[in-house]
């Protein structure tokens, strides 16, 4: 639950001008108790419902990518045609419910630490992501 003035600093601190559009998108994304997952399409719909002034789709794309680059969002790719963004930027893993197409955050109680015994020589690990796909019992298994 952040205030408008906090979003202004947040944006300024990372070199982004605090425009009306960016502040509105901050409000929609970060003025909440819980983190959540969304697609660009979800966000665009949300804004058009809850904001009297229209924000151009191009601006929504630009802003989401800027926020991702600045580390305010993480992108989670489920399949080539489904890309989600996550306002939870801490290290964590996901369940993906194939019945409902919903992403669910895992916490450390649910998935233990991934044990990487060997890495590629000369390389540094930049991230470790686990995706657990789940479906109802009666569904076809992949």
Partner DNA sequence: CAATAGTTTAGAATGATTATAATATAAATT
Partner DNA sequence: AATTTATATTATAATCATTCTAAACTATTG
Q: Contact region for DNA (CB under 7 A) — 16-24, 86-94, 96-104, 131-139?
A: 16-24
Q: Contact region for a second copy (CB under 8 A) — 19-27, 30-38, 52-60, 128-136?
A: 128-136
53 near DNA, judged by CB under 7 A = yes
Residue 55: name its binding partner from a second copy, DNA, none (Cβ under 5 to 8 Å by kind).
Answer: DNA
CA distance 46 to 8: 21
Provide, rounded to whole angstroms, the least separation between the CB of residue 32 and DNA: 21
Which three-class secondary structure state does DSSP give residue 76? Answer: strand
Which three-class secondary structure state does DSSP give residue 62? Answer: helix
- Nearest CA among 43, 1, 36, 39 for reference residue 22: 43
Residues 6+ apart with CB under 8 A from 84: 37, 38, 39, 75, 76, 77, 78, 103
5 near DNA, judged by CB under 7 A = no
Binding mask 71-110 for a second copy (x = CB under 8 A): ----x-xxxx--x-----------x-xxx----x----xx
Three-point CA angle 32, 45, 17, nearest 5°: 65
Interacting residues with a second copy (CB under 8 A): 75, 77-80, 83, 95, 97-99, 104, 109-112, 114-120, 122-137, 139, 141-142
């Amino acid at each position: 639950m952040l205030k408008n003035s906090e979003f202004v600093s947040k944006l300024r601190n990372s070199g982004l001008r605090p425009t009306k559009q960016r502040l509105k998108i901050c409000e929609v994304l970060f003025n909440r108790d819980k983190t959540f997952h969304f697609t660009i399409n979800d966000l665009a719909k949300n804004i058009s419902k809850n904001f009297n002034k229209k924000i151009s789709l191009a601006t929504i794309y630009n802003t989401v990518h800027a926020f991702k680059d600045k580390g305010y969002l993480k992108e989670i790719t489920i399949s080539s045609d489904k890309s989600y963004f996550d306002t939870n930027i801490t290290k964590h893993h996901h369940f993906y419910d194939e019945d409902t197409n919903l992403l669910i955050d895992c916490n450390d109680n649910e998935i233990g630490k991934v044990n990487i015994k060997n890495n590629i020589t000369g390389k540094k690990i930049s991230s470790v992501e686990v995706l657990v796909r789940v479906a109802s019992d009666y569904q076809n298994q992949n």
